[in-house]
């Protein structure tokens, strides 16, 4: 009998030990953000609407209608007067860039962000175990990741990933790579470097579906430090809760919605197809279908199912007249029951408006994305971190809050993730937040472009003086 008790005790102890080991190992797989640093280019690279118009004027292939189309796109884009562009634009060389222009643009970015990030966290480049670099429109040899390793003399056994052509959703993809590495390797530090190269990607043709991309993007970038070290969890800013990637590349219309190609005269640019809004909506909906059950409470999911069922029943013709259908409750999910902050990709005013409408968000929820678009423009994959920086600088992020990141990219992709705030983030000044120099000025009373009041044709009036400069140039 005593032997049976001893064996039973040993078996129970063994099961408890195995359960504890399994739970304990999960703690080493957590993905934390220790710190991040967004890039603020120097003021001599600042772009105004007037300067944007001057750059457009230098394109000799544009006719009056295309010039007018681009100016309308710029003034209605939501982009402000203090965004940044590569240096060669100020030298008038955007139509004849060199490889060195692109490399210098990237070097200026990563030297600024990585050095600040490592110095602030008292880390050596040799402390980095994983490096993930994503720059969609630059493919150099050696790779950009190799150039970073060479510049900082990182370790020989560092795990390196160099992503290209992933588009504006590459930040979430990079985080997903790091998350999966952390599942296998313990006590690691990862550095994610995200930016976009604009120097070699100016389209100098007149195809309307391709010239629009010239107005959308601005210079920027971000370096993010992540870890799964348990000893650093107390110093972390955010903890990854879940991540979902949706890729519709198998659908022809989605695949062709955003493509780099040559126009009829062989000039390379980014073609934005008319199917792009539909492709983005479809990818967004499919992504929400997967991530919603992971981030919202069960009570909200049941409420949504009940409202949806009630709405369908009231629309059933056999149940009576159409008056019942008109009185049906709105079958919409309240994402604010599980999410506190919405970090939306600044793809443009229309993108922010569409996501805000779909998720039933308030202007307070959309403010970080709108202000980021206004101050820094669309910086491609790094834009999410500028939006996060705005929230931090405004001292919105409190311990336990959840942040929902949403991004889109060519392919067509929609990637999203949810972060939990580990500690109150109210010390933006000490952390070198990119917004510290101007956060008190935001939000401004109006973000309307000043040229809306200057030019009559924007108010749908005839004002040929607007194009006098172009006529003189031609």
Estimate to the nearest angstrom the gap between the alpha carbon of 290 and the chain centroid.
Answer: 19
CA distance 95 to 194: 25
Q: What is the Rg, in whole angstroms, of the alpha carbon atoms belonging to the chain?
A: 25
**473 burial type by CB count under 10 A (0-12 exposed, 13-18 middle, 19+ buried):** exposed
Residue 208 Ramachandran class (φ > 0 left, ψ -120 to 50 alpha, else beta):
alpha
DSSP annotation string for 243-266:
EEEEE-TTSHHHHTSEEEEE-TTS
Is 168 among the residues known to form the active site?
Answer: yes
Q: Which of 47, 28, 59 is nearest to 182 (CA)?
A: 28
Q: List the catalytic residue out of 374, 414, 417, 449.
A: 374
DSSP annotation string for 397-430:
--TT-EEEEEEEETTTEEEEEEEEE-S----TTT
Place of tokens 């580990």: 422
Entry field: residues in the chain: 474
As given in the structure block, the two tokens for residue 231 are 């000893």
Place of tokens 């910086």: 379
As given in the structure block, the two tokens for residue 455 are 């030019």
Is 414 among the residues known to form the active site?
Answer: no
Strands (E), 149-267: 159-163, 189-195, 221-227, 238-247, 258-262
Is 271 among the residues known to form the active site?
Answer: no
Q: List the catalytic residue out of 39, 287, 341, 449.
A: 341
Is 151 among the residues known to form the active site?
Answer: no
Answer yes or no: are the C-beta atoms of 219 and 379 closer than 8 Å. yes
Q: List the catalytic residue out of 39, 247, 248, 271.
A: 247
**Which residues are tagged catalytic?**
168, 247, 341, 345, 374, 378
């Amino acid at each position: 009998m005593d032997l049976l008790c001893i064996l039973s005790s040993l078996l129970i102890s063994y099961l408890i030990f195995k359960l504890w080991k399994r739970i304990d190992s999960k703690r080493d797989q957590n993905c934390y953000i220790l710190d991040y640093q967004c890039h603020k280019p120097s003021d001599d690279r600042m772009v105004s609407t007037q300067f944007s118009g001057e750059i457009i004027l230098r394109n000799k292939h544009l006719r009056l209608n295309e010039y007018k189309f681009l100016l309308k796109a710029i003034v209605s884009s939501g982009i402000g007067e203090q965004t940044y562009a590569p240096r060669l634009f100020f030298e008038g060389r955007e139509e004849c860039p060199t490889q060195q222009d692109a490399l210098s643009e990237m070097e200026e970015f990563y030297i600024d962000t990585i050095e600040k990030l490592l110095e602030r966290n008292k880390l050596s480049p040799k402390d980095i175990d994983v490096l993930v670099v994503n720059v969609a429109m630059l493919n150099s040899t050696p790779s950009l990741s190799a150039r970073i390793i060479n510049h900082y003399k990182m370790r020989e056994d560092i795990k390196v990933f160099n992503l290209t052509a992933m588009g504006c959703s590459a930040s979430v993809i990079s985080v997903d790579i790091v998350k999966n590495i952390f599942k296998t390797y313990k006590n690691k530090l990862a550095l994610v470097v995200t930016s976009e190269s604009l120097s070699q990607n100016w389209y100098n043709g007149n195809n309307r579906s391709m010239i629009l991309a010239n107005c959308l993007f601005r210079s920027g970038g971000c370096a993010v430090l992540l870890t799964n070290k348990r000893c650093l969890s107390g110093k972390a800013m955010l903890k990854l809760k879940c991540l979902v990637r949706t890729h519709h590349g198998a659908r022809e219309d989605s695949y062709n919605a955003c493509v780099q190609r040559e126009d009829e005269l062989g000039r390379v640019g980014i073609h934005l197809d008319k199917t792009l809004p539909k492709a983005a909506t479809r990818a967004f909906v499919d992504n929400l279908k997967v991530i919603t059950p992971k981030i919202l409470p069960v009570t909200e999911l049941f409420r949504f199912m009940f409202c949806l069922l009630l709405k369908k029943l009231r629309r059933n013709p056999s149940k009576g007249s159409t008056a019942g259908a008109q009185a049906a409750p709105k079958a919409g999910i309240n994402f604010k029951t599980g999410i506190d902050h919405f970090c939306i990709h600044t793809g443009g005013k229309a993108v922010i408006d569409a996501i805000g409408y779909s998720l039933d968000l308030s202007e307070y929820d959309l403010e970080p994305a709108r202000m980021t678009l206004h101050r820094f423009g669309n910086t491609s994959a790094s834009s999410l971190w500028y939006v996060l920086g705005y929230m931090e600088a405004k001292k919105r992020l409190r311990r336990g809050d959840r942040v929902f990141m949403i991004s889109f990219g060519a392919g067509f992709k929609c990637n999203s993730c949810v972060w939990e705030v580990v500690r109150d983030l109210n010390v933006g000044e000490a952390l070198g937040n990119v917004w510290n120099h101007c956060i008190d000025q935001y939000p401004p009373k109006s973000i309307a472009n000043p040229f809306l009041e200057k030019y009559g044709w924007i108010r749908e009036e005839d004002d040929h003086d607007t194009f006098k400069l172009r006529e003189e140039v031609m």
